[in-house]
Structure formats: structure tokens, C-alpha cells
């Protein structure tokens, strides 16, 4: 799962706003073979927020 999570984070760091607006966290996680629940656990550990909250923050940038 660690590699899938790293790939997911790399995608989120490079995705443009239109790509993030046009999909859900469930769809993004499915692309990287990681459950939304597992991704959220990692996100909370690393960043203190859920995947949806991270996407919202990225859209503000």
C-alpha cells in the first residue's frame, strides 16, 4: 500500500485544478489501487486532514 499511497500523493501534487474538480477522491484512489479509507488514514497521519480536505486545499492554491 505504501507505494500506491506515494503514487497517489505524487498525482495530487501535480494534478491541475480542473482534473481535481472533475473527479472524486474515491475515483482517484481506485486509479492507484488504494481504498479511500486507507488513503485517509495515511493522509491524517501525514497531514492531519482527509483526502477530500486535501483536494479542497489544493483547489485554493
Domain that holds residue 31: 2-60
Total Cβ atoms within 10 A of residue 58: 14
User: How many independent structural domains does the chain possess?
Assistant: 1
Total Cβ atoms within 10 A of residue 33: 11
pLDDT tens, 10-61?
A: 999 999 999 899 999 999 999 999 999 999 999 999 999 999 999 999 998 7
Q: Model's pTM, two decimal places? A: 0.84
In this predicted structure, the answer to whether residue 1 has a pLDDT above a threshold of 80 is no
Residue 61: predicted pLDDT: 76
Helix locations, 1-61, DSSP H: 2-14, 17-21, 25-31, 36-47, 51-60
Residue 2: predicted pLDDT: 80
Amino acid at each position: 500500500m505504501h507505494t500506491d499511497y506515494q503514487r497517489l500523493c505524487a498525482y495530487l501534487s501535480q494534478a491541475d485544478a480542473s482534473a481535481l474538480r472533475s473527479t472524486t477522491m474515491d475515483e482517484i484512489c481506485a486509479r492507484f489501487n488504494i481504498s479511500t479509507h486507507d488513503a485517509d488514514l495515511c493522509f491524517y497521519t501525514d497531514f492531519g486532514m482527509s483526502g477530500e480536505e486535501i483536494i479542497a486545499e489544493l483547489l485554493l492554491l
